[in-house]
Amino acid sequence: MIDFNSGTELPNKFLGSEKKTTLLYNNEIYMIKFPDPIRDKNNTLSYMNNQFSEHIGCRIFRVCGLSAQETILGAYTDKTGRKKIVVGCKDFTQDGTTLYECSKLANAIVTVDEKIKATIENVRLIIQETDFIKDKTGATTQFWDMFVVDALLGNNDRHLDNWGFLSKDNEFSPAPVYDCGSSLGALLSDDQMRRLLDDEIEFNSIEYNTKSCYSLNGQRIFYHKIFKTPPNELNEAIRRITPRIDLELVKETVLSTEGISDIRKEYLIKSLTVRYERILAPALKQILKRQG
């Protein structure tokens, strides 16, 4: 594993739910994400495994043919002398482009004192009403393709700050996928994973019953439900993306990850397989059957 302390610290340019560090490493700028502390008193873990989920999640996006940030796992000793495994996310704005998270575009549809909610209706409206987004079809494709892979990852955190557009000279294009840190069992300890692997009912209730952070028609979306009766845009995305998913390559992505236990690998592979085989693959089969 690489040592990020050999990089040069730069003034930090990234915000987010937890503090970040910005480094120049191998002549590239990286946002360093640390294991996030856990605020829930009922969770016995002291730190999340979000750095591994970030790395594996972004790699799976790329394996599925979508553009996602490049990540590297590495060691980093902080100023207090504590050594941690962190993930370095290569800054995709270092060429002078600006990232506009979708939430920043909400001005097109809400007044200044309204908080924008994560709903499918709002995503459609933002794309429709933001004049800077010229390619409406491209932006719709971007969101729904990401939705399909998020269903595979069981990601419930793709809120409006966690995807967006890159802009250069006010020309908007889809930004690479970033922030997959809350997916892929990031809040589970190895012991919990070991127990869940022996408890089919509990395993399915956590890993099959996953929710998106979006609501549609006033109801929070369960991935397994919306894939049974997909709206048109999702229907198209399932047809585009599902045939591109090579489950063996996805498994290989997990197996080749440094720094995680065999139990975590087994758990992630089982959960990805369950969602692929019980949510994504049947949805594609149903769509192709309807087509005749």
Q: Which does 178 bind (CB under 5 to 8 A by kind): ligand ATP, Mg ion, none?
A: ligand ATP
Minimum CB separation from ligand ATP for residue 62, in Å?
13
Query: CA-CA distance, 182 to 54, in Å (whole number)?
Result: 8
Q: Is the dihedral of CA 97, 240, 215, 140 positive or negative?
A: positive
Minimum CB separation from ligand ATP for residue 278, in Å?
26
Rule CB under 6 A: choose which of 67, 93, 97, 173 binds ligand ATP. Answer: 93
Whichever of 18 and 277 has its CB closer to ligand ATP, that residue is 18
Q: What HEC string does the chain produce?
A: CEEHHHCEEECCCCCCCCCCEEEEECCEEEEEECCCECCCCCCCCCECCHHHHHHHHHHHHHHCCCCECCEEEEEEECCCCCEEEEEEEECCCCCCCEEEEHHHHHHHCCCCCCCCCCEHHHHHHHHHHCCCCCCHHHHHHHHHHHHHHHHHHCCCCCCCCCCEEEEECCEEEECCECCCCCCCCCCCCHHHHHHHHCCHHHHHHHHCCCEEEEEECCEEEEHHHHCCCCCHHHHHHHHHHHHHCCHHHHHHHHHCCCCCCHHHHHHHHHHHHHHHHHHHHHHHHHHHHHHC
Whichever of 99 and 263 has its CB closer to ligand ATP, that residue is 99
Per CB under 5 A, which region of 8-16, 49-57, 100-108, 202-210 contacts Mg ion?
8-16
Size of the site for ligand ATP (CB under 6 A): 22
Residues 154-193 close enough to bind Mg ion by CB under 5 A = 162, 179
Whichever of 89 and 196 has its CB closer to Mg ion, that residue is 89
Minimum CB separation from ligand ATP for residue 281, in Å?
28
Rule CB under 6 A: choose which of 161, 190, 236, 266 binds ligand ATP. Answer: 161
Whichever of 43 and 128 has its CB closer to ligand ATP, that residue is 43
Residue 190: other Cβ atoms inside 10 A: 16
Whichever of 99 and 247 has its CB closer to ligand ATP, that residue is 99
Residues 27-86 close enough to bind ligand ATP by CB under 6 A = 31, 36, 50, 69
Does 208 participate in binding ligand ATP (rule CB under 6 A)?
no
Does 253 participate in binding ligand ATP (rule CB under 6 A)?
no
* Residue in 121, 139, 143, 142 with CA at minimum distance from that of residue 130: 139
Q: Which does 138 bind (CB under 5 to 8 A by kind): Mg ion, ligand ATP, none?
A: none
The contacts of residue 229 (CB under 8 Å, 6+ apart) are none
Does 14 participate in binding ligand ATP (rule CB under 6 A)?
yes
Does 245 participate in binding ligand ATP (rule CB under 6 A)?
no
Minimum CB separation from ligand ATP for residue 84, in Å?
14
**Residues engaged in binding ligand ATP (CB under 6 A):** 14-18, 31, 36, 50, 69, 89-93, 99, 101, 161-162, 178-179, 181-182
**Residues engaged in binding Mg ion (CB under 5 A):** 16, 162, 179
